[in-house]
């Protein structure tokens, strides 16, 4: 009985058919899994691209802020230098003014002349 069962072509065709169906089903499931993996990787790539764009934007903003800070520092430095020069000029004028101030003796002599 088993021998006739194993030698029957219909049994072999049925087994072959089942193997083909199972293999096709397995391949379909594997393809779906791979498609899901690829889609997940696309989502991850999109997230990383967004993060990279955000970082690039942040770097540009920080670079502009740094440039503005450098310009402000240079402006302040120039203003400080200008103010220091003005102080020196005023000190020089005060030194000259001290030389022009009349002493008490000069005042008394001028009063005597009158």
For residue range 38-68, what is the model confidence (pLDDT) as tens digits?
999 999 999 999 999 999 999 999 999 999 9
Of residues 25 and 48, the one with the higher pLDDT is 48
Q: What is the DSSP string of the chain?
A: -HHHHHH-HHHHHHHHHHHHHHHHHHHHHHHHHHHHHHHHHHHHHHHHHHHHHHHHHHHHHHHHHHHHHHHHHHHHHHHHHHHHHHHHHHHHHHHHHHHHSPPHHHHHHHHHH-
Q: Is it the case that residue 84 has pLDDT exceeding 70?
A: yes
Confidence at 104, pLDDT banded by 50, 70, 90: confident
Domain residue limits, the chain: 10-96
Q: State the pLDDT at residue 90.
A: 84
Q: Please tell me the pTM assigned to this model.
A: 0.51
């Amino acid at each position: 009985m088993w021998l006739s069962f194993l030698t029957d072509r219909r049994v072999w065709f049925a087994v072959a058919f089942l193997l083909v169906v199972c293999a096709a089903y397995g391949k379909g499931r594997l393809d779906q899994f791979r498609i899901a993996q690829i889609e997940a990787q696309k989502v991850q790539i999109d997230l990383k691209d967004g993060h990279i764009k955000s970082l690039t934007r942040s770097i540009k903003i920080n670079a502009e802020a740094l440039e503005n800070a450098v310009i402000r520092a240079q402006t302040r430095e120039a203003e400080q230098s200008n103010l220091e020069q003005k102080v020196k000029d005023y000190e020089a004028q005060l030194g000259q003014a001290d030389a022009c101030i009349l002493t008490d003796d000069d005042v008394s002599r001028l009063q005597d002349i009158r």
